[in-house]
Chain A
Amino acid sequence: MVTTQPTVAEVRAWLEEIADPEIPVLSIVDLGILRDIEWSAASGEFVVSITPTYSGCPAIEVIADTIRNTLKERGVGKVRLETKLSPPWTTDWLTDDAKARLHEYGIAPPAKLIHVREIAPAMACPRCGSGRVELVSRFGSAPCKALYKCLNCLEPFDAFKQH
Chain B
Amino acid sequence: MDNVLFEYLLRSGDNCLILSQRLSEWCGHGPVLEEDIALTNVALDLLGQARFWLSYAGEVEDAGRDEDKLAFLRDTRDFRNVLLVEQPSGDYAHTTARQFYFDAWHYLALGELSHSSDGRIAAIAEKARKEAAYHLERSVDWIIRLGDGTEESHHRMQCAADALWMYTGELFEMDEIDRAAEERGIGPNLTALRAPWRVQVERTFAEATLQVPAGQWMQRGGKRGVHTEKLGYVLAEMQFLQRAYPGSQW
Contacts and interface: CB of A to CB of B under 8 A. Distances in A.
Interface of A: 52, 54-58, 85-90, 116-117, 119, 136-141, 143, 147, 161, 163
B130 A143 contact: no
Contacts of B6: none
5 closest residue pairs by CB, A with B: A56-B48, A55-B48, A137-B34, A86-B123, A56-B44
Given A85-B123, A86-B123, A138-B138, A56 B130 contact: no
A141 B37 CA distance: 8
A6 B37 CA distance: 44
A138 B46 contact: no
Q: Kindly state the interface size class of chain B when it binds its partner.
A: 20 to 34
Given A55-B128, A55-B131, A85-B127, A140 B37 contact: yes
26 contacts: A54-B48, A55-B45, A55-B48, A55-B49, A55-B52, A55-B128, A56-B43, A56-B44, A56-B45, A56-B48, A85-B123, A85-B126, A86-B122, A88-B123, A88-B130, A89-B127, A90-B130, A117-B137, A137-B34, A138-B141, A139-B34, A140-B37, A143-B44, A143-B45, A147-B34, A161-B134
Interface string B20-44: 0000000000000011011001111
Q: Dominant SS at the A interface?
A: loop
Contacts of A117: 133, 137
Contacts of A140: 37
Contacts of A136: 34
B232 to A, nearest CB: 25
Contacts of B131: 54-55
A55 B129 CA distance: 11
A137 B45 CA distance: 16
Contact of B37 (A58, A137, A163): A137
B143 to A, nearest CB: 14
B85 to A, nearest CB: 16
A57 B38 CA distance: 14
B46 to A, nearest CB: 7
B124 interface: yes
A112 B100 CA distance: 27
B70 interface: no
A138 B139 CA distance: 11
